[in-house]
């Protein structure tokens, strides 16, 4: 397995022309066929951007989705959406469930596997396919069918789990569950993890769980620290925690390590809420500091969150800087002389640069079983 693989979290900038056309469709002024062509054109361009930047694991940019909720909720049988027109494409539908959702069957499909196949056929790189998790989806649904929210969350999880099986059957190898609402409801992490395990059960893929503090219009919805995830998240059947660190600083890295997380970490090294483009040296410094706590084979390098709200040129520049920074550290790791084991303290979060990586950063931890065999 490659060391310090680079990836994206999911979403990609929506060009102005696409934003206007998607809004025209939501107002009933453009056909479904025309919208499909718009989506496919934008996805192919986003893939090319990622390839040119040197990203190892690419995504479709979630460019078919108006936002993080509607695309999925509108496809789940039993969800009631009385009004499907919008004034602006990024707005949310009002969604209600009035009766228990039907159990998924062999003929049940949310259409996500078709989206994956379109993307995978247009790149020679591994594709990460992400979707919003059941906990966050349920937060936006008026529940008139279940005695409590848990029933709704688990019903949605079963739908997503069935689709995950279909995705893998169609060739998907890298799947990611996004739970952007979880930071706002820290007391309900146990329920979210229970639902995540329903989604991933029996699905042989490399699974990521992305938890951030919100990214609506490039603004956080909540603030805090990742200690709220523990110890419940240790029971999650996923291979990576994909977390934001660039905006908040790296103070939470020791929390993740000290709480016993022994799997992969998707290391957020690019601040998607700032238009300032990081330098490769800044990115490399953040990676070096993470290597003081996690071995290189357990780190994946990615932005904090999706790139949707950044202008295209800035997003592309940030991805190029991220890849260049990862390459700097990867080159440093090759052929390092042996050195005594030991960890240096993590610097304060206000500094971007760390001292050069040492062999101890890679060798001081005991080997762990590979997370690839899931």
| Nearest by Cα to 107 from 36, 159, 174, 181 | 159
Mean pLDDT of the chain: 89
Rg for the chain (alpha carbons), in Å?
20
Region 174-202: mean pLDDT is 97
The DSSP secondary-structure symbol of 57 reads B
Region 173-191: mean pLDDT is 96
Q: What percent of the chain has pLDDT over 90?
A: 83
- The pLDDT of residue 1: 56
- The pLDDT of residue 334: 85
Q: What percent of the chain has pLDDT over 70?
A: 89
CB 43 within 8 A of CB 63: yes
Lowest mean pLDDT across 108-112, 233-237, 254-258: 108-112
**Tens digits of per-residue pLDDT, 13-49?**
999 999 999 999 999 999 999 999 999 999 999 999 9
**Tens digits of per-residue pLDDT, 259-298?**
999 999 999 999 999 999 999 999 999 999 999 999 999 9
| Nearest by Cα to 6 from 330, 355, 332, 261 | 330
Q: How confident is the model at residue 372 (pLDDT cuts 50, 70, 90)?
A: very low
Q: Tell me the torsion sign for CA atoms 73, 75, 78, 81.
A: positive
Indicate if the pLDDT at residue 138 is higher than 60. yes
- The pLDDT of residue 350: 36
The separation between the first and the last C-alpha atoms of the chain, rounded to the nearest angstrom, is 15
DSSP β-bridge partners for residue 265: 241, 299
- The pLDDT of residue 217: 66
Q: How confident is the model at residue 2 (pLDDT cuts 50, 70, 90)?
A: confident
Region 77-105: mean pLDDT is 94
DSSP β-bridge partners for residue 7: 57
- The pLDDT of residue 368: 32
Region 133-162: mean pLDDT is 97
**Tens digits of per-residue pLDDT, 326-371?**
999 999 998 544 333 333 333 333 333 333 333 233 333 333 333 3
């Amino acid at each position: 397995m490659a060391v310090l693989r680079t990836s994206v979290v999911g979403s990609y900038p929506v060009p102005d022309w696409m934003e206007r056309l998607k809004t025209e469709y939501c107002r009933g002024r453009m056909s479904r066929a025309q919208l499909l062509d718009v989506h496919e054109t934008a996805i192919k361009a986003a893939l090319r951007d990622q390839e040119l930047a040197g990203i190892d694991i690419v995504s479709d940019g979630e460019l078919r989705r108006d936002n993080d909720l509607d695309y999925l909720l509108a496809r789940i049988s039993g969800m009631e959406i009385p009004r499907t027109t919008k004034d602006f494409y990024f707005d949310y539908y009002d969604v209600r469930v009035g009766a228990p959702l039907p159990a998924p069957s062999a003929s049940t499909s949310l259409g996500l596997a078709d989206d994956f196949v379109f993307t995978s056929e247009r790149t020679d790189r591994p594709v990460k396919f992400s979707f919003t998790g059941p906990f966050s989806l349920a937060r936006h649904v008026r529940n008139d069918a279940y005695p409590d929210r848990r029933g709704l969350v688990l019903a949605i999880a079963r739908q997503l789990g069935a689709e995950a099986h279909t995705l893998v059957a169609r060739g998907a190898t890298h799947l990611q569950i996004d739970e952007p609402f979880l930071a706002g409801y820290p007391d309900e992490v146990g329920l979210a993890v229970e639902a995540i395990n329903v989604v991933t059960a029996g699905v042989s893929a490399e699974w990521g769980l992305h938890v951030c503090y919100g990214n609506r219009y490039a603004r956080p919805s909540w603030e805090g620290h990742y200690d709220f995830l523990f110890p419940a998240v240790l029971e999650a059947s996923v291979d990576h925690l994909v977390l934001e660190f660039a905006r908040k600083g790296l103070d939470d890295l020791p929390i993740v390590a000290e709480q016993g997380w022994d799997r992969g970490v998707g290391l957020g090294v690019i601040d998607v809420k700032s238009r300032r483009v990081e330098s490769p040296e800044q990115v490399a410094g953040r990676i070096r500091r993470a290597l003081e706590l996690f071995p290189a084979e357990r780190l994946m390098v990615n932005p904090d969150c999706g790139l949707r709200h950044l202008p295209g040129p800035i997003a592309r520049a940030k991805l190029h800087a991220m890849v260049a920074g990862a390459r700097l550290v990867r080159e440093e790791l090759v052929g390092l002389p042996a050195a005594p084991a030991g960890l240096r303290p993590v610097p304060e979060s206000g500094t971007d640069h760390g001292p050069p990586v040492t062999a101890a950063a890679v060798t001081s931890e005991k080997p762990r079983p590979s997370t690839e065999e899931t």
